[in-house]
Structure 1
Amino acid sequence: VGDALKDRFDGASRVMSNSDHETSVQRNDAAPHRIPRKDRYRFQLRPHNPDHKSPGVKDLVYLEPSPGFCEKNPRLGIPGTHGRTCNDTSIGVDGCDLMCCGRGYRTENMLVVERCN
């Protein structure tokens, strides 16, 4: 399941919403028109890039790109990754390659001596 979701995430495409349903409904205050539940949220998704095909029902899409988390952005409450401790042997999100966003990093070896009871 995780691999399938990751594949969809990697292939997600940016789209724009084309919601003309609201304008196509004629409003009449004397006799309000109720929209059937199945049609209430109907809208058209168009690819942001006109050269791409329209998304299918199982495609993963997004409306806006995610903000960058490498650099500090106080307006969005993003602290950035500068100065954080990373794991240089990890390939996960705590790994230095990913966390340092390609800026490089310094390693520091520490010898810790603790007393045993």
Structure 2
Amino acid sequence: SVGDALKDRFDGASRVKMPNTELEAPAQRNDAAPHRVPRRDRYRFQLKPHNPDHKSPGSKDLVYLESSPGFCEKNPRLGIPGTHGRQCNDTSIGVDGCDLMCCGRGYRTDTMFVVERCNCT
């Protein structure tokens, strides 16, 4: 499926860095026509792998410039509350599951007994 193909590409994404030479501002021209890069050349730059031992990404590879921040620990500067004290589902293997949400730190379980009234006649 499309989702599986995207997930495979996501899992194989490469960290890259951009060359500095393409980031420089174009020279100012003193005429009425603004300086524009031809559309076919707009994205002609070579992304370099962050790790020089890795090969350069292909045209269909997913790439990223920065690693994502960790969400397990609190980071007020980035607005990340962390996962300490959050409620999790110990039977789930999804993102709400205790193994994933608690980042391998372990978790405490609470057992609750609930008595409810029913609408019996």
TM-score calculated relative to the size of structure 2: 0.85
**Greater alpha carbon shift after TM alignment, 13-22 vs 70-79:** 13-22
CA positional deviation for 1:21: 3.8
Match of 2:4 in 1: 3
Verify the 8 A CA contact 1:16 1:46 in the aligned structure 2.
yes
CA shift digits 1:30-88 (9 cap, x unpaired):
47543212222332200000010000011111100000000001111100000011011
Q: Is 1:70 aligned with 2:69? A: no
Distance 1:3 1:105 in 2: 31
Match of 2:86 in 1: 84
Q: Is 1:55 aligned with 2:57? A: yes
Match of 1:41 in 2: 43
Match of 2:107 in 1: 105
Verify the 8 A CA contact 1:21 1:42 in the aligned structure 2.
no
Residue 114 of structure 1, aligned match among 109, 113, 116: 116
What 5-or-longer segments of structure 2 have no aligned partner? Answer: none
TM-score calculated relative to the size of structure 1: 0.88
Give the letter aligned to residue 81 of structure 1.
T
Verify the 8 A CA contact 1:20 1:43 in the aligned structure 2.
no
CA positional deviation for 1:26: 6.0
What 5-or-longer segments of structure 1 have no aligned partner? Answer: none
CA positional deviation for 1:95: 0.4
Distance 1:22 1:93 in 2: 38
Match of 1:14 in 2: 15
Identity over aligned pairs, percent: 80
Give the letter aligned to residue 68 of structure 2.
S
CA positional deviation for 1:19: 4.9
CA positional deviation for 1:109: 1.4
Instruction: Say how many residue pairs are matched.
Output: 117
